[in-house]
């Protein structure tokens, strides 16, 4: 267990540094927004393009991994809808507040997943996680948008939002990498080196942004809902993904990659969606913050268990 903690420590230290930089206001708030945009539209897609472009897919069970992602996501989304009534009754939540629980249960943070995959699983694990991001980011975004429209307290221009989902740069980056890989097209070497250098910025910058996005004010009346959403996301979700992957025949680094994708915290981008559509944005921020704190302890446990299963 100690080697896993030590391998993950740099990931969480970068998150902590991001939170510290935001706290001391070394960077102004509007500058953080600019860093988020350039990471989302340039650095992160460049990482996906370069990683997939350089991958030898003959050594990876890509089809089985995608099956595990899609089936696992379907089960998680159905559970999210089924849990609404009992959780609203148990924790005294409004529908708007439950929409934040739903987002906290179904979303996942690609920056954190890729950083951990790179540390723990190597290139094959990074590719599996990258493909998962490209494959299920649109279904996750669409279903969460529908949930916010249904349960939130504010209307929105739905056509524009669906257009934003479809042109997601993460999906475009994944698709571009696949096209380059499977067509056998070779980038001009200086272009390839530029793409590699840009991609290397992605993970450390992304982790700093995760830390800067944390919100440490906890709404006390919904504390149990925060705890429940954290447990669902960090324990139940990886159990679902790993079970499907195992019975589908995945082993080794591919299975560990599936576990990593499942056990990371939710992404803070759901905060803006909750804020725009009348969800409970403070509750969502509290859920993600608690997930990141607890994840420092839960992720090593999940990876250790997945490694054991992957070699059995």
Among 252, 280, 279, 256, smallest CA distance to 113 is for 256
What confidence category does residue 146 fall into, taking pLDDT thresholds of 50, 70 and 90?
confident
Across the range 14-25, mean pLDDT stands at: 92
Q: Helix, strand, coil proportions of the chain in percent (round to 5)?
A: 85, 0, 15
What confidence category does residue 64 fall into, taking pLDDT thresholds of 50, 70 and 90?
very high
pLDDT in tens, 155-182: 555 555 556 556 678 778 888 988 998 8
| CA distance readout (Å), 5 to 149, 152, 298 | 40, 39, 10
Token code pair at residue 18: 């991001």
Inter-residue contact 19 to 212 (CB < 8 Å) = yes
**pLDDT exceeds cutoff 80 at 269:** no
pLDDT in tens, 77-99: 999 999 999 999 999 999 999 99
What confidence category does residue 55 fall into, taking pLDDT thresholds of 50, 70 and 90?
confident
């Amino acid at each position: 267990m100690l080697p896993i903690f030590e391998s993950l420590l740099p990931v969480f230290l970068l998150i902590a540094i991001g939170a510290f930089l935001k706290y001391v206001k070394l960077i102004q708030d509007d500058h953080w927004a600019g860093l988020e945009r350039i990471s989302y539209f340039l650095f992160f897609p460049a990482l996906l393009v370069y990683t997939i472009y350089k991958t030898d897919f003959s050594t990876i069970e890509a089809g089985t991994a995608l099956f595990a992602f899609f089936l696992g996501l379907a089960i998680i989304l159905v559970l999210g809808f089924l849990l609404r009534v009992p959780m609203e009754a148990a924790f005294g939540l409004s529908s708007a507040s439950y929409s934040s629980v739903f987002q906290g249960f179904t979303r996942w943070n690609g920056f954190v997943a890729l950083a951990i995959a790179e540390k723990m699983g190597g290139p094959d694990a990074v590719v599996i996680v990258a493909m998962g991001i490209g494959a299920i980011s649109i279904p996750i975004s669409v279903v969460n948008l529908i949930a916010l429209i249904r349960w939130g307290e504010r209307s929105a221009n739905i056509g524009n939002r669906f257009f934003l989902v479809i042109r997601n740069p993460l999906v475009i980056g994944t698709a571009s990498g696949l096209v380059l890989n499977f067509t056998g097209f070779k980038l001009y070497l200086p272009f390839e080196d530029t793409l590699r250098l840009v991609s290397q910025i992605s993970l450390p910058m992304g982790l700093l942004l995760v830390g800067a996005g944390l919100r440490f004010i906890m709404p006390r009346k919904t504390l149990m809902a925060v705890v429940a959403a954290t447990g669902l996301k960090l324990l139940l979700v990886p159990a679902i993904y790993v079970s499907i992957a195992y019975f589908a025949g995945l082993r080794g680094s591919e299975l560990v990659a599936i576990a990593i994708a499942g056990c990371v915290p939710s992404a803070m981008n759901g905060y803006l969606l909750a804020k725009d559509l009348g969800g409970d944005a403070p509750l969502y921020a509290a859920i993600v913050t608690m997930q990141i704190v607890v994840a420092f302890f839960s992720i090593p446990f999940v990876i250790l268990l997945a490694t054991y299963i992957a070699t059995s």
